[in-house]
Amino acid sequence: MSSLGPGGRPRAPEERASAAPPILLVDDVPVEAADSRAVLEGGGYEVAAESDGNVVLRLVRASLMRCVVSELHIVCAEGPCVVRILKGDRRRLPRLRVLVYTRHTSAADLEWALDTGSDAILYKPAVSGILLREVRRLDALGGVASHRAGGPAT
């Protein structure tokens, strides 16, 4: 369970016991991050948002998150794609689920997204119900299976 509450603030011990599964939302476009956060929180999820790839790695590796919804091209000191680094660390993070939720739709970007090892890919903007469905599906899978939900949303 995450010790972070809404807005990334520390959560009181009594709040931690009843909180929904934590989601780390990774996006470098503030308006898109706010829209996605509103959808996820409206669906009952505890959400922390971050745009710095180095902070993302620290949070996930400290086991503060179990699901990441990330834009594709988020960089960090360890490389050009945080998603690829996280999914490559299966020994330490075997149950981590990652949904690439991206506005990048070129063939090259799709190939890049497929190569990250993510559990699912969804193009922005998706209807809010589709985003929630994918996050819930990944949460239910517990990180043991992989599925691509791609394709532009209508």
On whether residue 134 sits in a domain, the answer given is: yes
Residues sharing a CB contact under 8 Å with residue 108, sequence separation 6 or more, in sequence order: none
Beta strands per DSSP E along the chain:
22-26, 46-50, 67-70, 97-102, 120-123
Domain with 15, as residue range(s), is 6-141
Looking at residue 144, the DSSP 8-state letter turns out to be S
Residue 122 exposed, middle or buried by CB count within 10 Å (0-12, 13-18, 19+): buried
The predicted pLDDT at position 16 comes to 41
Residues sharing a CB contact under 8 Å with residue 6, sequence separation 6 or more, in sequence order: 41, 46, 47
Tell me: the pLDDT tens digits for 25-84?
Answer: 999 899 999 999 999 999 988 898 888 888 888 888 887 677 889 888 887 766 568 888
On whether residue 44 sits in a domain, the answer given is: yes
The strand pair at 67-70 and 22-26 is best described as parallel
CA angle, 135 as apex, 10 and 43 as ends, to 5°? 65
49 neighbors 37 (Cβ within 8 angstroms): yes
For residue 122, the domain's CATH number is 3.40.50.2300
pTM, rounded to two decimals: 0.74
On whether residue 147 sits in a domain, the answer given is: no
On whether residue 113 sits in a domain, the answer given is: yes
* Mean pLDDT, residues 90-98 taken together: 81
Average pLDDT over the chain, rounded to whole?
Answer: 77
On whether residue 127 sits in a domain, the answer given is: yes
Instruction: Count the domains in the chain.
Output: 1
The predicted pLDDT at position 40 comes to 92
On whether residue 50 sits in a domain, the answer given is: yes
